[in-house]
Amino acid sequence: MRVFVCAEKDVVTCVALNRLLPGLDGHTVSVVLLDLGPVDLASGSPLRRSDWVEREMFPQQVFAPLDRLPAPPGELLSFGHLSRRHAVPFHTVGADAKGAVDRLAAAFQPDVMLSLRFGRLFREPLLSLPPLGIFNTHSGSLPTYPGLSAYAHALLAGERELTCTLHVVDAGIDSGPVLASRSLTFDPERSVLWHLPALYTLGAQMFLETLPDLAAGRQPMARPQDRTARRYRKELTSEEILTLQRRGFRFTDQRDINELTTRFTGPPTVPELGARHPAAAWTRPRGPSLSD
């Protein structure tokens, strides 16, 4: 089976790909990574700082040095090592590269597509390209939390669990039939950043569980959403971010960043690498303050 994966180029999806790609061994796979470019930190928003950590700090300060090593030193693999380990091509496209994903998909001719925190809408003719359809991992329970930053809107509503939903992609926004959902308990001692990789890894696992049906050419069972229960969620406002902070929620935390880094780099005191080990640079990360 030919599987085309669309994901953002950030640490959250890299962790999820560490679960997804081993499960796709034996299939023909291609991955497109969306590079959204520099994050504007001028507003001082903790949400933007979190974006910077996910999309710039990890790819530039952790993954780039790791990709130059002959073998991965940690339990998790960077994008480069994932590509080499699983013999899967990774294509990076920019946010302004209109049509690039469509062209790559048309050239690949997938049987099925997976959107893994991709953050872009699919339109025709791409929607109809894969005969088995396009599936999306969404960071909220559907139909209750469609739209942006669904996990944060769930916390605002008083939820104590974060939910990832696997659903069919249709012409709407997070509106297609639901295949499955999984939840994890939110740990208030941890930041949002600590939870997101685990949340999207649940999405990767749910997609892998559809493989027997998909490989047999069958559509997995899915249930239509109750449209009356839908309320589209927009990007968090500054007031909503302040509300989350007043309740004690943190988008990033230095301890969580260091622990996540060590999963890729291994302990910073590896004798044979010493101070040159990539994790050593993370004792004093470069960039803005990382805790909010």
pLDDT in tens, 206-260: 999 999 999 999 989 999 999 888 888 899 999 999 999 999 999 999 999 999 9
Cβ–Cβ under 8 Å, residues 282 and 244: no
Stretch among 93-107, 197-211, 271-285 having the lowest mean pLDDT: 271-285
pLDDT at 261 over 90: yes
Q: Is 279 exposed, middle or buried (0-12, 13-18, 19+ CB in 10 A)?
A: buried
Helices within the chain (DSSP H only) = 11-23, 46-52, 64-67, 79-86, 100-108, 150-156, 192-209, 211-215, 238-246, 254-265
In 3D space, the residue among 292, 199, 198 whose CA is nearest the CA of residue 251 turns out to be: 292
What pLDDT band is residue 267 in, cutting at 50, 70 and 90? confident
Mean pLDDT of the 70-77 span: 96
**Pairwise pLDDT comparison (292 vs 282), residue with the higher score:** 292
pLDDT at 269 over 90: no
Cβ–Cβ under 8 Å, residues 82 and 18: yes
Q: What's the pLDDT at 152?
A: 95
d(CA 92, CA 84): 15
Mean pLDDT of the 171-189 span: 96
- pLDDT tens for 48-72 read 999 999 999 999 999 999 999 999 9
Q: What's the pLDDT at 280?
A: 43
**C-alpha triplet 176, 114, 29: angle, nearest 5°:** 155
Contacts of 146 (CB under 8 A, 6+ apart): 138, 140, 173, 174, 175, 230, 231, 232, 233
Q: What's the pLDDT at 279?
A: 43
pLDDT at 289 over 60: no
What pLDDT band is residue 291 in, cutting at 50, 70 and 90? low
How far CA 287 is from CA of 11, 52, 177, 190, 258, in Å, comes to: 17, 9, 41, 21, 14
Mean pLDDT, the chain, whole residue set: 91
Cβ-based neighbour number of residue 155 at 10 Å: 22
**Pairwise pLDDT comparison (10 vs 44), residue with the higher score:** 10
Mean pLDDT of the 172-195 span: 96
Q: What's the pLDDT at 278?
A: 45
